[in-house]
Amino acid sequence: MSALPTCCIIGAGCSGFTAAKALQDRGIPFDCFETSDVIGGNWAYKNKNGMSACYESLHIDTSKHRMAFEDFPIPPDFPDFPHHSQVLAYFNAYVDHFGLRETIQFNTAVTHVTRTQEGLWRVTVDRSGAGGPSSETRLYDAVFVCNGHHWSPRWPDYDGMATFTGVQMHAHSYLTPFEPHDMRGKRIVVVGMGNSAMDISSELSQRPIAEKLFVAARRGVWVMPKYVNGQVADKGAMPAWIPLSIQRALGKRMIKRIVGNMEDYGLPKPDHEPLEAHPSVSGEFLTRVGCGDITAKPNIKKFDHGIVEFEDGSREPIDVVIYATGYNVSFPFLDETVIQVENNRLPLYKRIFAPGIPNLFFLGLAQPLPTLVNFAEQQMKLVGRYLTGAYALPAAPDMERIIQADEDMYTGHFYASARHTMQLDFNKYVWDMQRELKRGAKRAKARPGLPVPARAGARSQAAAE
C-alpha cells in the first residue's frame, strides 16, 4: 500500500479530536495543534485561549440522545440537557479512552498556513506557550481546519454607540450575572433573540438581579420548547428519506399547535413561518416574558449617552447592553490567497471541500440541526475514505452544481441573514452522506490511487539533509 499523507489538524475541540480519532483509526499520520492547554474548545469554560463562549449556567440545547458519538455512549446518569461541565467531561473521557491526548500538542498556536506551488501546506506554529520556539514551520500533505465558528464576536453598528455612557459587551464575554460586570440593580438590554440571548436574558431578568430587562431584536422569532409531551423535542425525527419540504410542513403545524402565537406571550409577531429561521430553543424564556420579567422591544435605533432609543420611538435609560448578535466565520491563520469568506458564507462540497483544493478540509463549519457536537464524526467517514483512496470526489463543475443544490435545499427557505449561510439538517446530511460514499467508491475504482499523495515527509527530510 502507498504511504499515506501526513496531516495537520488545527484545533482540539470536538471537531479536531474526532478528526484525530478517525485518522488514528486508519493509520494516517498527523499532528494536532491546540492553542490552549485543554481540549474542548468552545465547551471549556474560561478557556485560556479566550475563544470559549461558555457562561457558567450554560446547558447544551441539544439533548444527550442526539449529541453522543457513535462509538462512545453518553453516561446514562447524565440529564437530558447536560451542563457544559458535563459536556466537557464527556469530551475528556472520549479523548482518554481512545488514547488521543498524547497526540495533541497543547499550548501551540497555528499562526500561518499557506499553500506551496507544489500544492503542499506550509504551516507555521508558535510553541512558546509550550516552552518551545516562538516560530516553527512544518510541511504537510493535508490540513484540517477545526478552529470553530463561535469565537469571533459579530458586533452591530448603531448610531451613537460611541456616546453610550454605560457598559457595552458581547454575549461571548458573559460569564455570570456578576462577571465580568455586576448586573444587580441594572437596567439591561439584550440585543438578539437567539439561544444565547434567551439564556442570558432569562437568567438576568430574575428579580434579585436586573432592575429591568429588555430584549431588542429586528424581527420576532418562534421559540421552540425543549420538551414535547414529556419527551425531549429533538429525540424523535422523521425518516431522512422524506423530503425536507414535507418534514417542514408537518413541523410547522406541530410547532404552532404546541407553542401558539408568539404575540400572545407579549413578543413581536414573527415575519416568517416556523422552521424558516435557525430555531431559538428555550424552556424558560416564554415564561419570563409572560411573567413580565422580560419586555420585548424592536431593534435599537440609536444611543444618546445613557439613553437607548428603539425603532418604535420609545426611549429607556439603560446601564448595560449585551449584544447576542452572533459570530464571524474567521480563519486568521489561513493565507487570504487560499480562501475568502464573504458575510459568513463559504461554499463547500458537503461542507468539507473547497473545489479546486483537494487537500484542505473544513470540519464542523456548519449549523446542523439538532447538533454540531458529533457532526465532524460523520464528515470524517468521508474524509477518512478519501485519504486512503476508497472515495473520490466528483469533477469540479459537478461539485459546484451540487454545492448550489445543497444550499438551496437546506437554506433556500430561510430569510437572508449571515446566520443562515451554513444551515443543514443533520439527519438528511447523514442519509445523503451514506449515498455519497457509495457514489464516491465507484469513482475511486475508476481512478485508483491516493488523491492526496504522501510528499511532505520526503520534502521535509530532503530539506533537513
In three-state form (DSSP H/G/I as H, E/B as E, the rest C), the secondary structure along 15-69 is HHHHHHHHHHHCCCCEEEECCCCCCCHHHCCCCCCCCCCCCCCCECCCCHHHHCE
Give the span between the Cα atoms of 365 and 342, in whole angstroms.
14
Name which of 152, 202, 195, 141 is nearest 358 in CA terms. Answer: 141
Question: Domain 161-323 belongs to what topology?
Answer: FAD/NAD(P)-binding domain (3.50.50)
* Residue (of 145, 110, 148) closest to 129 by Cα position: 110
* pLDDT of res. 278: 80
The domain segmentation of the chain, as residue ranges, is: 7-151+328-464, 161-323
- pLDDT tens figures, 381-390: 999 999 999 9
Running DSSP on this structure, what letter comes out for residue 224?
Answer: E
pLDDT at 82 > cutoff 70 = yes
69's grid cell = 458519538
Q: In what helix (H) or strand (E) does residue 130 lie, and over which residues does it extend?
A: none
Sheet holding 315-317, edge to edge: 300-304, 307-310, 315-317
Separation CA 114–CA 415 (nearest Å): 35
> Do the beta carbons of residue 351 and residue 146 sit within 8 Å?
no
The predicted pLDDT at position 416 comes to 78
Name the band, by pLDDT with cuts 50, 70 and 90, for residue 460.
low
Residue 254 has a pLDDT of 85
In this prediction, residues 119-130 reach a mean pLDDT of 94
Tell me what the pLDDT averaged over the chain comes to. Answer: 93
CA 160/CA 166 separation, integer angstroms: 12
Residue range 350-386, pLDDT digits in tens:
999 999 999 999 999 999 888 899 999 999 999 999 9
> Looking at residue 462, what is its pLDDT?
42
Q: CB–CB of 229/257 below 8 Å?
A: no
Q: Verify cis geometry, omega within 30 degrees of 0, for the bond prior to 298.
A: no
Fold assignment, 7-151+328-464: FAD/NAD(P)-binding domain (3.50.50)
What would the pLDDT profile of 226-282 be if each residue is shown by its tens digit? 988 888 888 767 777 788 888 888 888 888 888 899 999 999 999 988 888 888 899
pLDDT at residue 461 in the model = 45
7-151+328-464 against 161-323: fold identical: yes
Give 223's strand partners: 280
